[in-house]
Structure 1
Amino acid sequence: MNVSDAAYATVHDYPGGSESLGPRIGISPAVLRNKANPNNTTHHLTLSEAVRIADVTGDYRVLHAWASGAGYMLVRTDRLAGAADLDVLGAVTALFARAGEVGAAFHAAVADGRVGADEVRAVEREVMRLATAADAGLAALRGMAEPAPTERGES
């Protein structure tokens, strides 16, 4: 999905569409509809408007589309403070499960001897989910880490 299509989908998928989203971000609903329309050549979303839309809706498809179009992958970096052993165990088992889903997606993509663009996108989604699971495991582990002696004021 490209950035323009992501902006359109974000605005139109929001409950009530531009009619309810526009006032929440300080743009008239009609202007927002025009700005989100990929076929409109006179109205365009600014970067700050796109950020406000994402922050209000919690929908980051525009950010993901921008990153993907530029050859980047985004990973959400939730951090767990004071994680417990079960948090780490849960994160590690989720990581292993995701790794299996990546393998299954790769297998499905090549099983018929041809690889379609939709199959590549499916593998990309699973790889991104795997990276997110790995980051969650690392965050849980960080949450359990004791400070180094120098961080505790010891020598």
Structure 2
Amino acid sequence: MADSVFLALPVSELNQKLNGALPMREARTRDFYLAAQAASHEAGVDQLAEQLGCAPSTLYNKLNPNDETAKLTAEDIIRITRLTGSSAMAEVMARIAGGVFYRLPDLSKIPDAELFDLILDEGSMTGDFHSHLRKFLDDRRLEAAEFARLEQDICAVISGWVEIKARLETMVAS
């Protein structure tokens, strides 16, 4: 299973219900280039260019949003993401799509018996989220620590279901 997944989770409705308690700054193309630059510079542009099979000057040009002659392609973005391990570009793309990016934990080593326990535990994870949400929104306000706890609950539920789906797919008879 992949280490991460691009999830465009709609937040506008939740944000509206929470009276704007979740500030979502509108991401722009410039933000995407800044993310690409940060990932590339952290990995080393010269080394990354070599791995991509291009000259360092070409990669520098592609990372420059003002350069009209060289642009990052979808293949470049995917390869840079894989080579650097950075989710920065995916995070910006998720914001542009009105969502969030979440890196999934590697649960591929969990034995099937534990996977079935995970399926059974999913209901309690969802229950924890609902319980916390009811408690935290009782006063119609959401504190930062409360949001952090809800985010943790949501991520646990999402990663659990994605892992369950992936593992069940491996059990499908061909």
Both proteins in one fold, TM over 0.5: yes
Q: Distance in 2 between matches of 1:132 and 1:111?
A: 29
Among candidates 109, 116, 122, match of residue 88 of structure 1:
116
Percent of residue pairs bearing the same amino acid type: 20
Give the 3-state SS of the residue equivalent to 2:78 in structure 1.
Answer: helix
Does 1:26 pair with 2:33? no
C-alpha contact (below 8 Å) 1:91/1:136 kept by paired residues: no
C-alpha contact (below 8 Å) 1:91/1:140 kept by paired residues: no
C-alpha contact (below 8 Å) 2:125/2:156 kept by paired residues: no
Which residue does the alignment assign to 2:40?
Answer: 11
Give the 3-state SS of the residue equivalent to 1:22 in structure 2.
Answer: helix
Identify which range, 87-96 or 48-57, moves more after superposition.
87-96
Among candidates 17, 41, 44, match of residue 66 of structure 2:
41
Does 1:67 pair with 2:94? yes
Number of equivalences: 138
Residue identity in the other structure for 1:24: Q
Q: Distance in 2 between matches of 1:8 and 1:93?
A: 41
TM-score if structure 1 supplies the norm length? 0.55
Identify which range, 25-34 or 126-135, moves more after superposition.
126-135
Residue identity in the other structure for 2:33: S
Q: Following TM superposition, by how much is the alpha carbon of 1:97 offset from its aligned partner in structure 2, in angstroms?
A: 5.6
Residue identity in the other structure for 2:115: D
Structure 1 gaps of 5+ residues are none
Give the 3-state SS of the residue equivalent to 1:3 in structure 2.
Answer: helix
Among candidates 153, 158, 162, match of residue 135 of structure 1:
162
Q: Following TM superposition, by how much is the alpha carbon of 1:140 offset from its aligned partner in structure 2, in angstroms?
A: 3.1
TM-score if structure 2 supplies the norm length? 0.51
Residue identity in the other structure for 1:12: H
Give the 3-state SS of the residue equivalent to 1:68 in structure 2.
Answer: helix
Structure 2 gaps of 5+ residues are 1-26
- What is the RMSD computed on CA atoms of the aligned residues? 4.5
Q: Following TM superposition, by how much is the alpha carbon of 1:10 offset from its aligned partner in structure 2, in angstroms?
A: 1.6
C-alpha contact (below 8 Å) 1:105/1:126 kept by paired residues: no
C-alpha contact (below 8 Å) 1:10/1:59 kept by paired residues: yes
Q: Following TM superposition, by how much is the alpha carbon of 1:31 offset from its aligned partner in structure 2, in angstroms?
A: 3.1
Does the C-alpha gap of structure 1 residues 138 and 91 become closer, same or farther in structure 2, counting only changes over 3 Å?
same
Structure with the bigger RCO (C-alpha within 8 Å, sep 6+) is 2
Q: Distance in 2 between matches of 1:3 and 1:143?
A: 35
